[in-house]
Amino acid sequence: MSVIKDETEWFSETLEERTAFSVRYVNKLYDEMSDFQRIEIYETEMMGRVLVLGGCFMVTQKDAFIYHEMLVHPVMMAAGNAKNVLVIGGGDGGTVTEIVKHAGVESVTLCEIDPMVVSACSEFFPVIASGLADPRVTVVNDDGAEYIRNRKGEFDAIFVDSTDPVGPGKALFEVSFYESIRDGLREGGAASFQTESPLFMEDVFAMSVSDLRGTFGKQHASPYLAVVPSYPGGLWSFTFCSVSRDPLKDAPEELPVGIANQLRYYDPAVHRAAFTLPVFVRKLLEPKK
């Protein structure tokens, strides 16, 4: 493992040049330009290793488990015995690692546009990326918006683990993409999208949920929240989408045997609480007068 810099320095992610979230690092382990983005990996004192894409925090060893468990398990529990699963984005492998904890899963396709993200994370985040080595997993390097087009009814569960709506990530926040995801689900299937910060990116959050409700139906796109300290503002949203599954009525009260001891954030009680939205978030989703 090559060390690029080894004196103590600070890395900051700035938001609109008006706020910053900084971590002090002791080593810079990776810094390359792929065809899509700058990829950096730091060894930090407080957050463990940190993956930065295009200047934004993506994954930290300290808090990634919160994000990955909350993106994956609400859908896996409510969709009930999903067999064919798709992840779009998610090149760090963390989402896949959560999915393969479910013994009933038969195939997982990871569609990540940037192969360098997968190779860098496999090297520097071996635990988070461990699921990529599961024999049920296939990695495809393609634009997720293209890949999902015309794959009607192929998947029991789909997870959109995208970057922000910039660069290649922009295509993953378009209505046409949401429609492809809806059509790509089998009867009884469900999807979850990372839908940004309701505190610091309220417009993107409100627009994404509105577009998802326009695509799946008003009652069939349900936002839920978790705290991911390394993301801007900490409070983070996901949106559960399904035309046939209810995230609360269809989620069992008990975790499947063998999974409970593998989770550090999610359980059925946390699942129910996550869909109870604070007043300001509910107000963001009210139709504009």
Q: Which residues bind ligand SAM (CB under 6 A)?
A: 36, 53, 58, 67, 88-92, 111-114, 117, 143-145, 161-163, 168-169, 171-172, 194
DSSP secondary structure letter of residue 129 = T
Give the pairing type, strands 84-89 and 155-161: parallel
Question: Smallest distance, Å, CB 67 to ligand SAM?
Answer: 6
Residue among 149 and 186 whose Cβ is closer to ligand SAM? 149
Question: Smallest distance, Å, CB 113 to ligand SAM?
Answer: 4
Give, for 69, the enclosing helix (H) or strand (E). helix 64-79
Q: Are 216 and 179 in contact (CB under 8 A)?
A: no
Residue among 144 and 223 whose Cβ is closer to ligand SAM? 144
Question: Smallest distance, Å, CB 193 to ligand SAM?
Answer: 10
Quote the tokens at residue 8: 């103590």
Residue among 125 and 283 whose Cβ is closer to ligand SAM? 125
Question: Smallest distance, Å, CB 68 to ligand SAM?
Answer: 8
Residue from 47, 125, 42 nearest 90 by CA: 125
Residue 90 CA to residue 25 CA, distance in Å, equals 24
Q: Are 158 and 85 in contact (CB under 8 A)?
A: yes
Residue among 111 and 251 whose Cβ is closer to ligand SAM? 111
Residue among 98 and 156 whose Cβ is closer to ligand SAM? 98
| Active-site entry in 63, 114, 156, 161 | 161
Question: Smallest distance, Å, CB 217 to ligand SAM?
Answer: 25
| CB atoms near residue 22 (< 10 Å) | 11
- 246 catalytic? Reply is no
Q: Are 186 and 172 in contact (CB under 8 A)?
A: no
Place of tokens 């060390």: 3
Question: Smallest distance, Å, CB 288 to ligand SAM?
Answer: 26
The angle at the Cα of 103, spanning 222 to 276, to the nearest 5 degrees, equals 20
**Taking CB positions, which residue lies at the least distance from ligand SAM?**
89
Rounded alpha-carbon distances, angstroms, from residue 217 to 77, 211, 214, 246: 21, 9, 6, 12
Quote the tokens at residue 186: 């089998």
Residue among 88 and 201 whose Cβ is closer to ligand SAM? 88
DSSP 14-54: EETTTEEEEEEEEEEEEEEE-SS-EEEEEEESSSSEEEEET
Q: Is 203 exposed, middle or buried (0-12, 13-18, 19+ CB in 10 A)?
A: exposed
**Which residues are part of the catalytic machinery?**
161
